[in-house]
Amino acid sequence: MRHLAETFERTRSQGRAALIGYLPAGYPSYAGCVDALLAMVDGGVDIVEVGLPYSDPLMDGPTIQHAAEAALAGGVSTRDVLKTVEAVAASGAATLVMSYWNPIERFGVGAFADAMAAAGGAGVITPDLTPDEAGPWLDAVAAAGIDPVFLVAPSSTQERIRRVADASRGFVYVASTMGVTGARAQVSNRAEALVARVRPLTDLPLAVGLGVSTGAQAAEVAAYADGVIVGSAFVRLLIDAPDPAAGIEAVRGLAVELAAGVRGARTS
């Protein structure tokens, strides 16, 4: 298992941000998702987020919702998500799960943390769990040796940001906009201001998500953040592809473009 701290130390030593890519497990199929995630890594993604499909997603925009619903209709299970983590982590990339709290609670808090560690997972992002309510989860991930990642948003107060930063390990997820996920023509200008608010409160890396879809946008975010998170843009390529093989190659191509963006941002 490659830990998040190790990955961010490596990218920092290279003078650049880390590139983080997301896909929901089970889309377009279990094997197709694994192949697409490995293509991401081959294209230059440093950290992989595996989404756990859920029937009531609060943050997901229509693109990710479509893929998650298809994965659920295809019978994807939490065990399949963990198998996906194991397959991708074997490539050497730091691998996380992004999951709403309900599926983890149903699986068993300690059991899920232990299963993630056994699969080689580096951590778990829980977008709808606040640190105030995360006591049992923080105990479980500490015992399992994996990182809990929490989110801050433009609406977060300084006290909320401090609590999130204190509870997080690995990195802090900086949501650049209010609302649901989705690729955007322009990254929110609130992201840089939010990163500036978080910086004095933690030494953890700050990774910005929600909206990045091009190499130019990735370079823009990489100029002030430690990580650039891309999800919907990858998912859209799989949805629009004429066949799974074409989708995988499109994902690889976008990863190459985004990786060039983050690698050029601080050396240009």
Instruction: Report the pLDDT value the prediction gives residue 186, as an integer from 0 to 100.
Output: 53
pLDDT class of 184 with cuts at 50, 70, 90: very low
- Confidence tier at 55 by pLDDT (50, 70, 90): confident
What is the domain extent for residue 173? Answer: 4-265
Using alpha carbons, select from 19, 18, 50 the residue that is nearest to residue 37.
50
Least confident window among 64-73, 74-83, 112-121, 172-181: 172-181
Structure tokens at 46: 């440093």
- Residues 35, 60, 80, 147: which is the catalytic one? 60
Locate all alpha helices (DSSP H) within 168-210, ordered by sequence: 190-198
Q: Which residues contact 209 (CB under 8 A, 6 or more apart)?
A: 20, 173, 174, 175, 176, 181, 229, 230, 231
Phi, psi (deg, nearest 5) at residue 223: -70, -20
Tell me the C-alpha distance between 175 and 190, whole Å. Answer: 9
CATH of the domain at 144: 3.20.20.70
State residue 266's pLDDT score: 62
Of these residues, 49, 80, 147, 226, which one is catalytic? 49
Q: Which residues, other chains included, contact 210 with Cβ-Cβ below 8 Å and sequence gap of 6+?
A: 175, 176, 177, 181, 182, 188, 229
Pairing of strands 123-125, 227-230: unpaired
Q: Any alpha helices (H) in 14-146, and if so which ranges?
A: 30-43, 62-73, 78-89, 101-107, 109-118, 135-144
Contact at 8 Å (CB) between 239 and 66?
Answer: yes
The answer to whether residue 9 is catalytic is no
Q: Are 1 and 120 in contact (CB under 8 A)?
A: yes
d(CA 144, CA 263): 33
Give the pLDDT band (50/70/90) at residue 189: confident
Tell me if residue 86 is catalytic: no
**pLDDT at residue 268 tops 70:** no
Least confident of 14-23, 59-68, 98-107: 59-68
User: So what's the pLDDT on residue 45?
Assistant: 98
Share of the chain above pLDDT 90, in %: 87
Please count the structural domains in the chain.
1
pLDDT above 50 (res 47): yes
Neighbouring C-alpha atoms within 13 Å toward the C-beta of 122: 26
Q: Is the pLDDT of residue 182 over 50?
A: no
pLDDT tens digits, one per residue of 111-158: 999 999 999 999 999 999 999 999 999 999 999 999 999 999 999 999
Q: How far is CA 43 from CA 21, 38, 56, 186, 257, in A?
A: 11, 9, 32, 23, 8
pLDDT value, residue 58: 72
Q: Is 121 left (phi over 0), alpha (psi -120 to 50) or beta?
A: beta
